[in-house]
Amino acid sequence: MVLGVLRFSYSQQLEVKEGITSEVRGWYVHIKSDDGNIYVFATGRSTIFRPHRYPKIGEKVEIHYTNENGSWIAHKVVMYR
């Protein structure tokens, strides 16, 4: 019996990107990585935030994500001081 639809298959490999938060708009988190590029990640209800809040601008973050149909979907966002 299937109780729900899985959005993420654990057979997919999670990738990790680190950087500084440059912008937070709605469901999207923008980070500037060490190589100088800005990356945009979509978040949602299933995204895990550690600690349990959105990152502040200028805060160092580590984002665990997958690339689904050309969109980077964040599954876990870890913030550092």
**Cβ contact 30:43 at 8 Å:** no
**b/e per residue, 40-62, with b = 16+ CB within 10 A?**
ebebeeebebeeeeebeeeeebe
**Domains of the chain with CATH codes:** 15-80 (2.40.50.140)
Using pLDDT thresholds of 50, 70 and 90, give the confidence band for residue 7: low
Nearest to 44 by CA among 76, 20, 14, 19: 76
Predicted TM-score (pTM) of the model is 0.82
What are 20-76's pLDDT values in tens digits?
999 999 999 999 998 999 999 999 999 999 999 999 999 999 999 999 888 999 999
In degrees and rounded to multiples of 5, residue 13 shows phi and psi of -90, 125
